[in-house]
Amino acid sequence: MVLFNLPIISQYPLIITLGILVIGAILAALGGRKSSTAAVISEVFIALAFLINIILLYDIMGDPKTGFLSGPYTWLTVFNVNIGFWADGLSLPIAVMILGLSFVAILYSQIFMKDLKRPQTYYSLMMLFITSMIGTLYSTNLLQFFAFYEFMLFPSTAILIWYGTSETYEERKQNGLKFFVWTNFGALALMVGVAAIILATGSTDLLSIGWSLGTVAPELMGLVQIGSLLIVLGFAVKMAIFPLHMWAPTTYKEAPLPLLLLLSAAMTKTAAYGIARIAIPLFSPNLASYTTGLLIVSLITMYYGALAALAQKDLKMMLAYSSISQLGYLMFGYATLNLYGIEGGVFHIINHGLLMGIMFVAAGVLKMQTGTLEFSKMGGLAKKMPLTAIAFISAALALSGTPPFNAFASEWLIFEGSAAAGHIWLTIFAIIATGLTAGYYLWAVRRIFFGVTPDELAEVTDGPKPLLYVLLILTAVIVLIGIFPNSILHYIQPFLSAIIGGG
């Protein structure tokens, strides 16, 4: 502990972070009859949690292998289930990113959704959603992880149905149900996989899962294989990997923009984190033979997302499909099962989260100022909204893999990984997909920010100040990460090289 020596906080920083978020949810529910009050309460508590995590991140900068552990506390004696909270170089950067984005999402709701019905419900559900995502990242136990992971579904489904964008209630209900059923069945697959792993290894400890494989009897290795495949399947549902992505387009279409930001930039990342933390240690020794298949599936996801994005007439849906496509990159990195690829994948979690944050905030500003997100009704907005344009274009360039933005480094690592795994052709196809990404983003930039301004938009000005600051800060962050990729990589590398070896 370098920065702060307060007696209790320095001992239980993670429990306190979760506690702060839960208290925020309760206070927002109790005191938030006015929309702005509920929003401010949520913002304050998220900011506190964010601050704690930033300090923790700073503290472990010198030696990212160390982490913060609270617990373990006995939860259930059968299978020695202990509950505990752990944050290290792998989870802390993601936690900081998710908390930061959560703050943005709440701020954004405050500005855009002033006339919410029952704001206390909305904000407390958002807080619960955020709490469960952070809880997932901190978990030290497979069952604890699953508990938080599953719990995430309920607040998000409720927000989706109560505050969805569709006109009719029936439609919202249908889309919400689709989201719930798909992701719930993903969770069921995850649960069965976890059960198989627990039976084979006799341990429920999440952090040592790769090491506990050494003690598994040879005849149980089949169980481990089935278990790991089911775990990946479960996570793939939430990451919307083709062909398990069916829930994603309708859900993204339905979700209000702040929720969409959290769904696509934060929630899918908990699944990506889960793969890195749980599935990769299980896979890397046993299942190298699945690499090719997973690479191809990821490649299909990339192309599917990119081509669908190209066909959209509406910015929101284009971003949604782009998100699917980008998670294909992430999975592509993971599927290589070597250090470069996985490191690139984990790095891409953070990069993609930040970039999606910029994109959705920019989209929200555009929607608010122009009243539309359809490409055909926009044009020439670069002059009217210069700051938004700068942020949007930077993020678009970053997503297309342009240096010196952040995603360049992660995509480079991902492709280096697949090349090192010997899949030259697949790598070439993946790089071509990056070209497609550049294509649809730059086309979108062209249609929104350049060309002729429609007459209706002649009076448009740049968005509200707080959001512009957010955009500029996020843009600065992505440039900084792009210039100094090692600032993040040195956090994630130690854990990954410990499980993969080398590096």
Please give the residue ranges that form the binding site for another protein (CB under 8 A): 74-79, 143, 146-147, 150-151, 154, 158, 161-162, 169, 173, 176-177, 180-181, 184-185, 188, 191-192, 195, 198-199
| Minimum separation from the CB atom of position 484 to another protein (A) | 40
Residue 237: partners with Cβ closer than 8 Å, 6 or more residues away: 182, 183, 185, 186, 189, 244, 247, 271
Minimum gap (Å) between residue 177 Cβ and another protein:
7
67/227 with CB nearer another protein: 227
CB of 194 to another protein, least distance (A): 10
What percent of the chain is helix, strand and coil (3-state, nearest 5)?
Answer: 75, 5, 20
Distance CA 284, CA 502 (A): 13
DSSP-derived pairing of the beta strands 68-76 and 81-87: antiparallel
Q: Contact at 8 Å (CB) between 254 and 160?
A: yes
Q: Report in angstroms how near the CB of residue 18 gets to another protein at its nearest.
A: 13
* 75 vs 412 by CB, closer to another protein: 75
Q: How far is the CB of 127 from another protein (least distance, A)?
A: 17
CB of 66 to another protein, least distance (A): 29
Q: How many Å is the maximal CA-CA distance in the chain? A: 73
What is the residue-wise DSSP string for 461-501? Answer: ----HHHHHHHHHHHHHHHHHHH-THHHHHHHHHHHHHHH-
Looking at beta carbons only, is 172 or 277 nearer to another protein? 172
Closer residue to another protein in complex, CB, 143/430: 143
Min dist. Cβ of residue 76 to another protein (A)? 5
CB of 147 vs another protein, minimal distance in Å: 3
Provide, rounded to whole angstroms, the least separation between the CB of residue 158 and another protein: 8
By the 10 Å C-beta count (0-12 exposed, 13-18 middle, 19+ buried), 420 is classed as: middle
**At 85, which helix (H) or strand (E)?**
strand 81-87
Rounded to whole angstroms, the Cα distance separating 105 from 49 reads: 15
Q: For residue 412, what are the CA distances in angstroms to 33, 306, 312?
A: 49, 18, 27
Distance CA 150, CA 204 (A): 17
* Nearest CB to another protein, comparing residues 267 and 467: 267
Handedness of CA 446, 449, 453, 457 (dihedral sign): positive
Tell me whether residue 21 or residue 460 sits nearer to another protein (CB atom). 21
Q: Are 53 and 17 in contact (CB under 8 A)?
A: yes
Minimal distance, residue 154 CB to another protein, in Å: 7
Q: State in angstroms the smallest separation of the CB of 72 from another protein.
A: 13
- Please say which residue, 150 or 343, places its beta carbon nearer to another protein: 150
Q: What is the DSSP letter of 458?
A: T
Nearer to another protein, 111 or 133 (CB): 133
Contacts of 499 (CB under 8 A, 6+ apart): 210, 280, 281, 284
Helix (H, G, I), strand (E, B) or coil at 195: helix
* Closer residue to another protein in complex, CB, 78/452: 78
Computed over its alpha carbons, how large is the radius of gyration of the chain? 22
CB-facing half-sphere around the CA of 28: CA atoms within 13 A: 30
Q: Identify whether the C-beta of residue 151 lies closer than 8 Å to the C-beta of residue 285.
A: no
Cross-strand partners of 76: 81
Q: Which is nearer to another protein, 83 or 445 (CB)?
A: 83
Task: Decide whether 180 or 449 has the Cβ nearer to another protein.
Answer: 180
Contact 335, 324 (CB under 8 A): no
Closest to another protein by CB, 131 vs 322, is 131
339 contacts: CB under 8 Å, gap ≥ 6: 417, 496, 497, 500, 501, 502, 503
Nearest-approach distance from CB 172 to another protein, in angstroms: 8
